[in-house]
Structure 1
Amino acid sequence: MNINSYRTIWISDLHLGSTQCQADVLLDFLKFNDSDKLYLVGDIIDFWALSKKMYWPRDHNTVIQKLLRKARHDTQIIYIPGNHDENVRDYDSYVFGDITVKNSDIHTTASGKRFLIVHGDEYDTIAKYHRWIAKLGSEGYDLLLEFNRYLRMIRRLLGIQSQFSLAAFVKFKVKNAVQFISDYEESIVNTLRDEGVDGVICGHIHHAEMKDIGGFQYINTGDFVESCTAIVEHHNGSLELVNWHKTETALDYEPLKVNLHNP
Structure 2
Amino acid sequence: MAKREIDILVISDVHLGTYGCHAKELLNYLKSIRPKKVILNGDIIDIWQFSKSYWPESHMKVVRRLLKFVTDGVPVYYLTGNHDEMLRKFTDLKLGKFQLLNKLLLNVDGKKAWIFHGDVFDVTMQHSKWLAKLGAIGYDTLIILNSMVNWCLTALGRSKMSFSQRIKGRVKEAVKFINHFEQTAADLAVDKKYDYVICGHIHHAEIRHIQAQHKTSSVLYLNSGDWVESLTALEYVNGNWRIYQYNPTEFTTIADEDHTDDEDLEAKLDVNHLLEQFKQKVQ
Q: Give TM class, smaller chain.
A: 0.7 to 0.9
Aligned to 2:4: 4
- Root mean square deviation of aligned Cα: 2.0
Aligned to 2:114: 116
Aligned to 2:227: 224
Amino acid at match of 1:133: L
Amino acid at match of 2:38: L
Give how far 1:64 is off.
Answer: 0.6
Question: Are 1:185 and 2:182 an aligned pair?
Answer: yes
Question: Are 1:29 and 2:29 an aligned pair?
Answer: yes
Give how far 1:251 is off.
Answer: 7.3
- Does the residue aligned with 2:247 lie in a helix, a strand or coil? strand
Amino acid at match of 1:237: G
Give how far 1:46 is off.
Answer: 0.3
- Asked if the contact 2:154–2:160 (Cα under 8 Å) also holds between the matched residues in 1, the reply is no
Higher helix share: 2
1:157-172 alignment to 2 at 5 Å? 157-160=155-158, 164-172=161-169
Alpha-carbon distance between aligned partners in 2 of 1:248 and 1:4, rounded to the nearest angstrom: 13
Alpha-carbon distance between aligned partners in 2 of 1:43 and 1:115, rounded to the nearest angstrom: 20
Aligned to 1:173: 170
* Runs of 4+ off more than 3 Å: 155-160
Alpha-carbon distance between aligned partners in 2 of 1:124 and 1:146, rounded to the nearest angstrom: 25
Aligned to 2:194: 197
Aligned to 1:210: 207
Give how far 1:159 is off.
Answer: 4.5
1:44-63 alignment to 2 at 5 Å? 44-50=44-50, 54-63=53-62
- Does the residue aligned with 2:201 lie in a helix, a strand or coil? coil
Structure 2: unaligned runs, 5 residues or longer: 212-217, 255-283
- Asked if the contact 1:80–1:103 (Cα under 8 Å) also holds between the matched residues in 2, the reply is yes
Give how far 1:241 is off.
Answer: 0.8
Amino acid at match of 2:127: Y
Alpha-carbon distance between aligned partners in 1 of 2:116 and 2:154, rounded to the nearest angstrom: 35
Aligned to 1:257: none
Distance 1:36-1:146 versus aligned 2 partners, 3 A rule? same
1:71-110 alignment to 2 at 5 Å? 71-96=70-95, 98-110=97-109
- Asked if the contact 2:74–2:97 (Cα under 8 Å) also holds between the matched residues in 1, the reply is no
Aligned to 1:42: 42
- Does the residue aligned with 1:133 lie in a helix, a strand or coil? helix
Give how far 1:128 is off.
Answer: 1.8
- TM-score, normalized by length of structure 1? 0.88
Alpha-carbon distance between aligned partners in 2 of 1:113 and 1:159, rounded to the nearest angstrom: 47
Distance 1:32-1:159 versus aligned 2 partners, 3 A rule? farther
More displaced, 163-172 or 85-94?
163-172
Give how far 1:163 is off.
Answer: 5.9
- Does the residue aligned with 2:166 lie in a helix, a strand or coil? helix
Identity percentage of aligned residues: 38
- Asked if the contact 2:153–2:160 (Cα under 8 Å) also holds between the matched residues in 1, the reply is no
Give the structure with higher Rg (CA).
2
Distance 1:154-1:201 versus aligned 2 partners, 3 A rule? same
1:119-158 alignment to 2 at 5 Å? 119-158=117-156
- Asked if the contact 2:11–2:226 (Cα under 8 Å) also holds between the matched residues in 1, the reply is yes
